[in-house]
Amino acid sequence: MIGTSKEEGSASDAKSSSYTPPPNVIVLPQTKELVALMTIIRDKETGRSDFVFYSDRIIRLLVEEGLNHVAFVEKTVITPTGVEYKGLGFQGGICGVSIMRAGESMEQGLRECCKGVRIGKILIQRDEETAMPTLFYSKLPEDIASRQVLLLDPMLATGGSAHKAIEVLIERGVPEDHIVFVNLVACPEGIKYLLDGYPKLRIVTACVDTCLNEKKYILPGLGDFGDRYFGTA
């Protein structure tokens, strides 16, 4: 049985929704394969081994899509036949930044797509007295301001942690439109909160769930992603 988390709640709490994400929220095509993968990781009976395996498959799809939304420049190369090919190249380096701890589960998927990619980390926790997200730790590449950043965190619930993480990146000189936030499950409330503060941000997600309940759990959700992925439930 998965413990209570901010991504969990009873199905009876869910509200019906006809929510349409704004243009800078990119939702993966809801193919039968993706829905099947999401069904596996949402199932409370799914064991850790299968949860990790199928989550990793979804993360790889998300990272591939996230890379479609960084900046590119035109690039011409010569093929082995001696002919020019006019293609594209990444504009500047790519950097992944994971919001600890759950975001660390997405690092390997990025490494598999981007050889030698730099990885930064940000640790944010909620202050018990103020209920506000507080920065506890950050370790970012020195040249992060010149890179395209994929911000990694599996769940977008209230958006408090992601909002703080984006604030940290911008303070380090990363332009807002150079940040792509990649996550597995989002909700309308979290999307609105992030885009109200950072309208140039792009969000790539596998699905947008119905809502948050009064306890701020995503519904239908999938439980505490970090606990299930790292086996600490």
Q: Which domain holds residue 177?
A: 19-230
Catalytic residue among 46, 153, 224, 228: 224
pLDDT of residue 14 exceeding 60: no
Is 224 among the residues known to form the active site? Answer: yes
173 is a domain residue: yes
12 is a domain residue: no
Domain count, the chain: 1
Contacts of 94 by beta carbon, 8 Å cutoff, 6+ apart: 67, 70, 114, 117, 118, 147, 148, 150
14 is a domain residue: no
Task: Give the pLDDT band (50/70/90) at residue 15.
Answer: very low
Q: How many residues does the chain have?
A: 233
pLDDT at 216: 85
pLDDT at 48: 95
pLDDT at 7: 44
pLDDT at 214: 86
Residue 141: CATH number of its domain: 3.40.50.2020
Is 111 among the residues known to form the active site? Answer: no
Per-position DSSP letters for 43-88, written without gaps between them: -TT--HHHHHHHHHHHHHHHHHHHHTTS-EEEEEEE-TTS-EEEEE
Is 56 among the residues known to form the active site? Answer: no
pLDDT at 128: 60
38 token code pair: 């999401």
Task: Give the pLDDT band (50/70/90) at residue 16.
Answer: very low
pLDDT of residue 55 exceeding 80: yes
Task: Give the pLDDT band (50/70/90) at residue 139.
Answer: very high
Pick the closest to residue 147 from 108, 96, 98 (CA basis): 96
pLDDT of residue 33 exceeding 80: yes
Rounded average pLDDT over 100-104: 92
Helix residue ranges, H only, 68-200: 107-113, 160-171, 188-197
Q: How much is the pTM? A: 0.88
7 is a domain residue: no
Is 227 among the residues known to form the active site? Answer: yes
10 is a domain residue: no
pLDDT of residue 207 exceeding 90: yes
Determine which of 40-54, 119-133, 173-187 has the lowest per-residue pLDDT on average.
Answer: 119-133
Per-residue model confidence as pLDDT tens digits over 145-189: 999 999 999 999 999 999 999 999 999 999 999 999 999 999 999
Catalytic residue among 60, 126, 134, 172: 126
